[in-house]
Chains A and B, each alone.
Chain A
Amino acid sequence: MTQFLQQIINGLSLGSIYALIALGYTMVYGILKLINFAHGEVFMVGAYTGYYAAGALGIAAFEERHQSFPLYLALLVLIAAMAAAALLGVLIELFAYRPVRNAPRLTPLITAIGMSLFLQNAAMLVFSPNPRRYPAVLSEVRFELFGVIVTNIKLTIFVVALSLMLGLHLFVQRTWTGRAMRALSFNIDAAKLMGIDTNRVIRSTFAIGSALAAAGGILFGLDQITINPLMGVLTGLKAFVAAVLGGIGSIPGAVVGGLLIGLAEQLTAGYLSPEYRDAITFVILILILLLKPEGLLGVVRVEKV
Chain B
Amino acid sequence: MRRMLLRSAVGVVVLIAIYGLGFGVEAGFTEYVQRIILLAGVNIILAVGLNLINGTTGQFSIGHAGFMAVGAYAAAFVGVKIAPGLHGLLGTGSVADAVVFNLALLAGALFAGISGLIVGMPSLRLRGDYLAVVTLGFGEIIRILFNNATFLGAATGYFGDSPSGLPAYTTFFWVYAWVAAIVVLIHNLTFSQTGRSLIAIREDEIAAEAMATPTTRLKVTAFAISAATAGIAGGLFAHMQAGVRPEDFRFEKSIDMVVMIIVGGLGSISGAVLGGIFVAVSLELMRDLQQYRLVLYALLLVVIMLVRPQGLLGNRELYQLARKPKPPSTPMEGM
Contacts and interface: CB of A to CB of B under 8 A. Distances in A.
**Chain B interface main SS type:** helix
B129 interface: yes
A188 B334 contact: yes
Interface stretch (B14-22, B29-37, B170-178, B296-304): B296-304
Contact of A35 (B133, B291, B294): B133
Interface string A101-122: 0111111111101110110111
Contacts of A240: 133
Contacts of B302: 96, 111, 114-115, 118
Contacts of B145: 279
B306 A104 contact: no
Interface in A257-272: none
B125 A99 contact: no
Contact of B298 (A100, A103, A121, A188): A121
A241 B329 CA distance: 30
Interface in A109-149: 109-111, 113-115, 117-118, 120-122, 124-125
A133 B148 CA distance: 27
Which of A96, A103, A105 has its CB near the most chain B CB atoms (within 10 A)? A105
Interface in B130-151: 130, 132-134, 136-138, 140-141, 144-145, 148
A303 B127 contact: yes
Interface residues of A, number: 48
Contacts of B134: 282, 285-286, 289
A289 B130 contact: yes
B60 interface: yes
Contact of A100 (B60, B207, B305): B305
**Chain A interface main SS type:** helix
Contacts of A107: 305, 309
Given A121-B295, A122-B295, A189 B129 contact: no
Nearest to A37: B132
B301 A110 contact: yes
B137 A281 contact: yes
Contacts of B228: none
Interface string A240-279: 1100100000000000000000000000000000010011
B325 to A, nearest CB: 14
B60 A189 contact: no
A151 to B, nearest CB: 29
Contacts of B5: none
A289 B126 contact: yes
Contacts of A241: 133, 137
A96 B334 CA distance: 23
A99 B306 contact: yes
A50 B62 CA distance: 31
B60 A117 contact: no
B309 to A, nearest CB: 5
A103 B334 contact: no
Given A111-B306, A286-B122, A305-B206, A118 B298 contact: yes
A247 to B, nearest CB: 13
B206 A110 contact: no
Contacts, number: 129
Contact of B301 (A102, A114, A234, A286): A114
Contacts of A99: 306
A114 B305 contact: yes
A237 B139 CA distance: 12
A285 B137 contact: yes
A187 interface: yes
B304 to A, nearest CB: 8
A290 interface: yes
Contacts of A115: 298, 302
Contact of B133 (A124, A285, A293, A304): A285
B292 to A, nearest CB: 7
29 contacts: A33-B128, A37-B132, A96-B302, A99-B306, A103-B330, A104-B328, A107-B309, A109-B60, A110-B60, A110-B301, A117-B255, A117-B298, A118-B299, A120-B294, A122-B295, A237-B140, A241-B133, A241-B137, A244-B133, A278-B144, A282-B134, A285-B134, A286-B122, A286-B134, A289-B130, A293-B126, A303-B127, A305-B206, A305-B210
Interface of B: 54, 58, 60, 62, 122-123, 125-130, 132-134, 136-138, 140-141, 144-145, 148, 206-207, 210, 251, 255, 258, 262, 266, 291-292, 294-295, 297-302, 305-306, 309, 328-331, 333-335
Q: Which 4 A-B pairs have the closest CB atoms?
A: A114-B301, A118-B298, A117-B298, A114-B302
